[in-house]
Amino acid sequence: MNLIKLSDYLWEIPKTGAMRVPGRVYASAKMIEAMREDPALTQVANVACLPGIVGYSLAMPDIHWGYGFPIGGVAAVDAREGVISPGGVGYDINCGVRLARTRLDFSFVEPRIDQLADALFAKIPAGVGSWGAIPGLSIEQLKEVVSQGAHWALRNGYATRRDLEHTEEGGMLAGADPDRISERAYTRGAKQLGTLGSGNHFLEVSRIDEIYDSKLADALGLELGQVTVLIHSGSRGLGHQTCDDYLKVVGGAMARYGINLPDRQLAAVPISSPEGQAYLGAMAGAANFAWCNRQVMMHLAEQAFLDALSIAPRELGFELVYDVCHNIAKFEEHSVNGQMRLVCVHRKGATRAFGPGHPALPDALRPLGQPVLVPGDMGRYSFVLVGLETAMRETFGSSCHGAGRLMSRMKAKKEAGGRDLRAELKALGVTVRAHSRGGIAEEMPHAYKDVAEVVEVMEAARVTRRVARLKPFAVIKG
Amino acid sequence: MPTKPTATQTEDAALFREFEHTGDLGIELEAPTRAELFRRAAIALAALMVETASVAETEQRQVAVEAQADLDLMHDLLTELLALFTVEGFIWRDASVTEAGRSLRVTLRGEPFDPARHAFRGEIKAVTYHQLMVDNSPGGWRSRVIFDV
């Protein structure tokens, strides 16, 4: 892959063939060398072929080989003339991360880590099927969930108004159309509200072990030694099925609109087409399910803390710092060639990172910039960042979303063969509760890049700034 | 991409191979006949999600799919089977396939999934179209499928 170095942290894939715009990759020289032969870069070029794409097909430093879009890809398309691609959002619609803080210091929790991990593991269903967090919902109730998102949680006692204010889009993406979601999708999601799932999803209890910007940390209510909870999950079976349903619809309709793309998984139709509008209505509904899901899990986590530590809610002080989604397509205004344009930003494994002053941010966070939550692997650390003004000019207000895989799941399992990963993690100070050994093996720390290198690239490029580092000490997995 | 036999397979090792895909999970299948290719795909899907050695063949389920292209048949069959597991909670150890023109009827033999008895290997979210391949060459039938996990 031909790459032109633009700066120490930015590389360009020149426009060739059917590409409509160049590609741009945020990465250090070391990262670029490692990914030069990776299919992910070809996928950046493929995304650049989408009709209506503006600016650049972007890749964040945690980029890795996905299906259709690379994981870590960002593409903005013109809202009137562009296309919507369900593959550019992914199967796990509104997969995302939320961070809750407590008033507890690590020293208070340290002697009770096992009880806390057990309580969280018992309270929050994870793993295959993982159902039964709250009573099963009827299709009519699920339609309320997909229409209302986290507002459903508020109405049903799983949220506070403050939680909603600290959730991207207020926990409810406009335009959800419950009738565009299939019965099978509802059936798959019926018992899964408030459940973690498996794969790379997790709940992680951490302590803050590094503050990079004390002013910002203070404003976000974060301090050294503080215990926090990071939840990574998405729209579960309801979202997976919705993506699957619309890949078929969109794939079948593409030819009618004269769209030809290099990968079937990139299937796209005009945003204005009936198929495009139907997908957007369904996608917003699945996104709302995900916000409600993470909100319910946060509520369950609070209950687990209260039970395990025998403390009062006031002592615990469980509050949402922020909730971000990293698999989504959203209509936003951005500057393109010096002019403000309404674009549909596909973020596939990338996080919105609006800079300070953006009107989409809640009053309390607007002066700071949007919090960006970047989980690492379970043995090392995760980061809290905030968006900077450069993000608005260069990345359609987007930043990285995680560490990015280094090893395939298969290779990770092979490397883990015969090793006692639970004991190894325990030696690193991390207590793990998981339903499957394979799940731990695939997600072992060395299967991932060092997330510190990823966030350093985004900071060097002035897209996001580090605020705090979270060191996990208890992890719940599927 | 490099193809190596996986170290984690049980008795189904000969039926499919996992291959390296950084973010997701890919399998390659080879079979002497078209029906056997789809049968192996069905067994592979179950074995990727659950340690199927512990699954008893006490019940049967049937799934039927129809599509113009074998590529779509493969995608749609595996998607239906994924729903059989995720929606109905049925896991299978073996399968038989009946072909009729552009449609397939697949009988699965297994039992309801019971987390207390069946070791769970990992969740599969979906069957992707990315690099999906079904090919009939002189050497037999081959397929490649990437799952989102």
pLDDT digits (tens, 9 = 90+) for B73-82: 999 999 999 9
Query: Which residues are bridge partners to A74 per DSSP?
Result: A58, A347
Average of per-residue pLDDT across A321-348: 97
Q: How close, in Å, is residue B21 to chain A by CA atoms?
A: 5
Residue A404 has pLDDT above 60, yes or no: yes
Bridge partners (DSSP) of residue A334 are A341
Tell me: pLDDT of B10 over 50: no
Residue A20 is classified by DSSP as S
Look at residue A324 and tell me whether its pLDDT is greater than 50: yes
Share of chain A above pLDDT 70, in %: 99
Closest-CA residue to A194 (of A289, A302, A297, A298): A297
Element (H, E) at A384: strand A382-387
The dihedrals phi and psi of A346, each to the nearest 5 degrees, come to -85, 125
Which residues in chain A are closer than 8 Å to B89, comparing Cβ atoms? Answer: 129
Instruction: Report whether A159 contacts A466 (CB < 8 A).
Output: no
The complex's ipTM works out to 0.82
What is the rounded average pLDDT of the residues B24-46?
95
Q: Does residue A258 surpass a pLDDT of 50?
A: yes
Instruction: Please give the single-letter amino acid code of residue A126.
Output: A
pLDDT on residue B18: 86
User: Which residues from B are below 8 Å from A263, CB to CB?
Assistant: 129-130
Q: Which helix (H) or strand (E) holds B108?
A: strand B103-112
* Residue A436 to residue A196: CA distance in whole angstroms: 14
- With a cut of 70, say whether residue B11 has pLDDT above it: no
Average pLDDT (A245-273) is: 94
Active site residues of A: 401
Cβ within 8 Å, pair A184-B6: no
User: Between residues 7 and 66 of chain A, which touch chain B (CB distance below 8 Å)?
Assistant: 38, 40, 64-66
Hey, is B37 helix, strand or coil? Answer: helix
The answer to whether residue B10 is domain-embedded is: no
Q: What residues pair up with A347 in beta bridges, in sequence order?
A: A74, A328
Q: Report d(CA A69, CA A46) in Å as an integer.
A: 8
Q: Which pair of structure tokens corresponds to residue B144?
A: 């490649």
Tokens 């987390």 identify what position?
B115
Q: Does some domain include residue B27?
A: yes
Contact B144, B26 (CB under 8 A): yes
B10 or A108, which is more confident: A108
Other CB atoms within a 10 A radius of the CB of residue A403 amount to: 28
Q: Which residues of A126-156 are buried (b: 16+ CB within 10 A; e: fewer)?
A: bbbbbbebbeebeeeebbbbbbbbbbbbbeb
The pLDDT tens digits for A149-202 are 999 999 999 999 999 999 999 999 999 999 999 999 999 888 899 999 888 899
Of A80, A51, A11, A12, give the one whose Cα is nearest residue A262: A51
A439 Cβ under 8 Å from any chain B Cβ: yes
Whether the per-residue pLDDT at B13 is higher than 60: the answer is no
Residues 6+ apart with CB under 8 A from B4: B17, B19, B20
CA distance A207 to A226: 5
**Would you state the pLDDT for residue B120?**
84
- Residue A131 — pLDDT band, cuts 50, 70, 90? low
A227 pairs with which residues across the strands? A207
b vs e for A49-81, b when ≥16 Cβ sit within 10 Å of the residue's Cβ? bbbbbbbbbbbbbbbbbbbbbbbbbbbbbbbee
**pLDDT for residue A443 is more than 80:** yes
> What's the total number of domains in chain B?
1
Q: Give me A436's structure tokens.
A: 């499957």
* Euclidean distance between CA atoms A240 and B41, whole angstroms: 20
Closest CB to A408: pick one of B21, B131, B148: B21
- Contact across the interface for A71 and B23, Cβ inside 8 Å: yes
- Alpha-carbon gap, residue A142 to A181, rounded angstroms: 10
Residue A423 CB burial class (10 angstroms; 0-12, 13-18, ≥19): exposed
Q: Kindly state the average pLDDT of the residues A328-333.
A: 98
CB contact under 8 A, A436 and B21: no
Whose CA is closest to B148, among B79, B72, B91, B69?
Answer: B79
Task: Tell me the pLDDT band of A130, cut-offs 50, 70 and 90.
Answer: low
Q: Is the pLDDT of residue A28 over 60?
A: yes
Q: Which residues of A touch B50 (CB under 8 A)?
A: 128
Cβ–Cβ under 8 Å, residues A347 and A329: yes
How high is the pLDDT of residue B8? 34
Q: Is the pLDDT of residue B5 over 50?
A: no
Q: What is the pLDDT of residue A190?
A: 87
Q: Are A465 and A216 spatial neighbours (Cβ–Cβ below 8 Å)?
A: yes
Cβ–Cβ contact A326 with B under 8 A: no
- Contact of A332 with chain B, judged by CB distance below 8 Å, is answered with no
Round the average pLDDT of chain A to a whole number and report it: 94
CATH of the domain at B65: 3.55.10.10
Whole-prediction pTM: 0.93
Q: Hey, is the C-beta of A189 within 8 angstroms of any chain B C-beta?
A: no
Has residue B75 been placed in a domain?
yes
Please, are residues A94 and A290 in contact by the beta-carbon 8 Å criterion?
yes
Distance CA A265, CA B72 (A): 13
- Tens of pLDDT, residue by residue over A353-394, are 999 999 999 999 999 999 999 999 989 999 999 999 999 999
DSSP letter string over A300-330? HHHHHHHHHHT--HHHH--EEEEEEESEEEE
Within 13 Å, how many C-alpha atoms sit on residue A302's CB side?
A: 26
Q: Are strands A202-211 and A464-477 parallel, antiparallel or unpaired?
A: antiparallel
Angstrom distance (rounded) from CA A74 to CA A89: 10
Q: Is B135 exposed, middle or buried (0-12, 13-18, 19+ CB in 10 A)?
A: middle
Q: Which residue has the higher pLDDT, A336 or A38?
A: A336
Residue B59 belongs to what domain range?
A: 23-148
3-class secondary-structure state, position A421:
helix
Q: What is the DSSP letter of A151?
A: H
pLDDT at B2 over 60: no
Dist. CA A57–CA A47, nearest whole Å: 6
Helix count (H) and strand count (E) of chain A? 17, 19
Task: Please judge whether A263 and B120 are an interchain contact, meaning their C-beta atoms are less than 8 angstroms apart.
Answer: no
Name the residue ranges covered by the structural domains of chain A: 4-477
Q: What is the pLDDT of residue B119?
A: 87
Q: What SS3 state is found at B61?
A: strand
B119 and A436 within 8 Å at the Cβ level: the answer is yes
Classify strands B140-148 and B133-137 as parallel, antiparallel or unpaired.
Answer: antiparallel
Per CATH, domain A4-477 is 3.30.70.20: no
Which run of H or E residues covers position A154?
A: helix A150-155
Closest chain B residue to A437 measured between Cα atoms? B121
Using the Cβ of A411 and the Cβ atoms of chain B, whether some distance falls under 8 Å is answered with yes
**pLDDT higher than 90, residue A438:** no
Angstrom distance (rounded) from CA A68 to CA A87 = 6
Name the band, by pLDDT with cuts 50, 70 and 90, for residue A418.
Answer: confident
The pLDDT, as a whole number, for residue B121 is 83
Residue A416 — pLDDT band, cuts 50, 70, 90?
confident
Instruction: Provide, as residue numbers in chain A, all residues whose Cβ is less than 8 Å from the Cβ of B120.
Output: 127-128, 198, 435-436
CA distance B26 to chain A (A): 9
Is residue B34 within 8 Å of residue B136, measured between CB atoms? yes
pLDDT digit string (tens) for A66-85?
A: 888 999 999 999 999 999 99
- H helices present in chain B, as ranges: 34-49, 70-86
Backbone φ and ψ for A337, nearest 5 degrees, come out as 50, 40
In sequence order, what are the residues at sequence separation of 6 or more whose Cβ sits closer than 8 angstroms to the Cβ of residue A71? A40, A62, A63, A64, A65, A348, A349, A404, A405, B23
Residue B58 lies in a domain: yes
State how far the Cα of A146 lies from the Cα of A139, in Å rounded to an integer.
Answer: 10
Q: Is the predicted pLDDT of residue A317 greater than 90, yes or no?
A: yes
* Mean predicted lDDT score pLDDT of chain B: 88
Whole-angstrom Cα Rg for chain B? 14
Q: Quote the CA–CA distance of A283 and A250 in Å, as a whole number.
A: 13
Domain membership of residue B14 (yes or no) is no
pLDDT at residue number A129: 55
Exposure string over B76-105, b if 16+ CB within 10 A, otherwise e? bbbbbbbbbbbbeebbbbbbebeeeeeebe
Q: Provide the token pair at A179.
A: 């009738």
